[in-house]
Amino acid sequence: MKETVYCGERGEGGAAVWKTTVRDGEEIARRELPPRLDLRNHSPTGFEWGYGGSGPAQLALALLVDALGDAEEALTLYQPFKWQVVTNLPSTAWKLTDTAIREIAEELRLKRNAMEYTQPSGYRTLTEMLKDSGTPEPMAEDFDDIFDGPAVLPPWRNETTITERNEETI
């Protein structure tokens, strides 16, 4: 049986990650894991793990692309994979098998697919709630007196992630 084992280790030269192919318990090939900067360039200085930064994002992407063999799918899963797996890897050395990575990826796919269908009806966005209540949407100039100069509202102020249950639709 053929299996791939991914290994990360910290040394004097920094963090290194490689891929080892094993058949019937015997190592048959070993090489550095390509960072896949061609897909996303989070960390041109290399891989990292144990926290949620750019180096761990690059590692998550590289592991998924290699283990899944599907760059498009890896691009949709690498951030959740980073938070679930890469941030929790031991700081000095670790090993992951391609089988474990594929199993975790499948769990993340199922979670992603379930979330696409769980937005209950009867929820409204913050913008919709403000319109319905007659409250004008805040403008940047409304905050000028609070700050020393013109304020810039955060880009998320119109996001649809803040919701309130619309009791009338039940």
Residue 157: pLDDT over 80: no
Residue range 25-77, pLDDT digits in tens: 889 999 999 999 999 998 888 899 999 999 999 999 999 999 999 999 999 99
pLDDT of residue 12: 86
CB 60 within 8 A of CB 81: yes
Q: State the pLDDT at residue 70.
A: 96
DSSP-derived secondary structure for 10-56: EETTEEEEEEEEEETTEEEEEEEPP--TTT--S-TT----SSSSHHH
Token pair 């004097």 in the structure block, residue: 12
The pLDDT of residue 86:
95
The least confident of 8-22, 80-94, 136-150 is 136-150
Please give the full DSSP string across 57-86, using - where no structure is assigned. HHHHHHHHHHHHS-HHHHHHHHHHHHHHTG
Percent with pLDDT over 90 in the chain: 55
The pTM for the full model equals 0.67
Residue 151 confidence class, pLDDT cut points 50, 70, 90: very low
Question: What integer is the mean pLDDT of 4-31?
Answer: 92
- Nearest-angstrom CA–CA distance, 5 and 23: 11
Q: Where are the domains of the chain?
A: 2-116, 123-169
Residue type, 79: Q
CA nearest 81: which of 110, 98, 59? 59
- Phi/psi zone of residue 46: left (φ > 0), alpha (ψ -120 to 50 degrees), beta? left
